[in-house]
Structures are given as C-alpha cells and as structure tokens.
Amino acid sequence: MLLPTTYLFVPGNRPERFAKALASGADRIILDLEDAVAPNDKAGARAAIAEWMGSPAAPRERVLIRINDVTSAWHVDDLALVHAVQVACVMLPKCEAADQVAALRAHLAPEASVLPLIESARGLLALQDIAAAPGVVRLAFGALDYMVDLDLPTGSPALDFAAAQIAIASRAAGLASPVAGVTPELDVVRVAADMAQARALGFGAKMCIHPAQVAAVRAALAPSAEEIAWAHRVLQAWNASAGGALQLDGKMIDRPVVLKAERILAHGRP
C-alpha cells in the first residue's frame, strides 16, 4: 500500500469546501482549526466539523483535524471535539515534547494516530522522543513557523538542516518519510521545485493549501521515464545474474542499487 503523498488543508469554518477538497485527488484532507481560522470563528469551525464528521459524506480514513497548540486558549475545546467525532488522525501543531502527544492520545480512540508538526527549536531538539512516542504515525515540518521561531530569512540553510534532522529521526524511529511544509505561492512550478528539494532531504509528502498544488506535488515525487527505464534494466540485469554483483553502464550494481530500483518502480505505479 502506497503512503499518502498529499495533505490538503481546508479551513474548518468553510464546510462547503470539505467535499471539494476530497474531490481534489489529495490523499488526505486536513480540516484546520488553527492558522486558517480567525479567533472569532473557532467555535463555528468546531461545530461545522462536528456536523460534517457525523455525516456519511466524511470518509474517516482520509480526514485529519489540525487542532490548536497546547498553549492556546482553544486547545481544550479542540480536544473535546476530536474525542467526540473520533477522528482517525490529529495533526498537533508546535509539538515540542512527547508528553504532548500522550496527552492528546488520551482523548482519542486507541487506534487513532497523531501527526506532530515540528515548528520550533524546542520541537527539533525533542525530535527523537516525539518520533518514538506511541501513536505517532509520521512527522511534519512547519517550515514557515520554524523560520519565525528562529528569525530566519527565506532560503536559509538552517531550514535544510532542520528538515534533514526530521527525516533522520523519522527513519530511526521506523516512521514513514516526513511531510514537507506548505508553499505559500500557488505557482505550480514553485510547488514542484519545493517538493523536489524536500525529496532530496528525505521527505516523501507535502502539505498543500490549494487543490492546484496537489498535482504538482505528485508530479515532483513521481520518477521520470528515464528513471523507470533505468530501474527496469537494473532489475533485469540483476535477475539474470542470479543475485551477484555486476556492471551496468560502467557502474557496479549490487544490492543497495537494486533496492533503489525497486523503490523507483514502486513509486512509479499509479
């Protein structure tokens, strides 16, 4: 089963967009109670989400809810909501400790999962504990908030450093490859370039803020025709050699190269 690669945000106070988000082709939609919803609209957003989640139109396996962080005035009410609707996965923003994950899980069904957002220096320093916390299914990088926390300029190499740390911690904890942060620009070329950069750092998915970004992310993650052709040739040569090391195009082919070829073909399947 292929992992989700696209997570599309939808403001929680815009229920007329929920079904449209599902129809966008995104693997997951995130009903947002945090940044996309003004303080005066938080209660209405919770009510809209509760009503929709109680209807047959809501495919629970594709829906996450992003709640407000543990220091906010709305966190407790958000916990009551996710408990009431029994959501399958909750995105926890500004996660900075494993005990924050545990406190959230106390309000969820036993089989529910948590997707922590790493958005601060404290969160980065607690990566190993957060990644190893029970119920964590994947990590995500809130790059924009991280830039604010560290007062970083756009394009700072510190962002790549943090992203690489998140990817390493994910792998060490046996989690799926992490989810890259949003691209504020709607330009699909920029979105694809950002996803390609994140992929080079070990990420395998991306958060989106507009349906048009979904296809761009998928295209950036899909192997090229040349990569797929190379992978087929590697596997054909490997199988013909009965599993021994060999040369192909002047390069040595051994087990790690074969594994890379297998992954390319797996990602290339529709």
pLDDT by 10s per residue, the chain, length 270: 578 999 999 999 999 999 999 999 999 999 999 999 999 999 999 999 999 999 887 888 999 999 999 999 999 999 999 999 999 999 999 999 999 999 999 999 999 999 999 999 999 999 999 999 999 999 999 999 999 999 999 999 999 999 999 999 999 999 999 999 999 999 999 999 999 999 999 999 999 999 999 999 999 998 777 777 887 888 888 887 766 677 778 787 878 888 887 777 776 554
Q: With 0-12 CB in 10 A as exposed, 13-18 as middle and 19+ as buried, what is 40?
A: exposed
Parallel, antiparallel, or unpaired for β 28-32 and 63-66? Answer: parallel
Query: Domains in the chain, start-ordered, CATH in brackets?
Result: 6-221 (3.20.20.60), 225-268 (no CATH)
- Yes or no: say if 214 and 6 are a contact pair by the CB < 8 Å rule: yes
End-to-end CA distance of the chain: 11
pTM for the structure as a whole: 0.88
DSSP class of 114: E
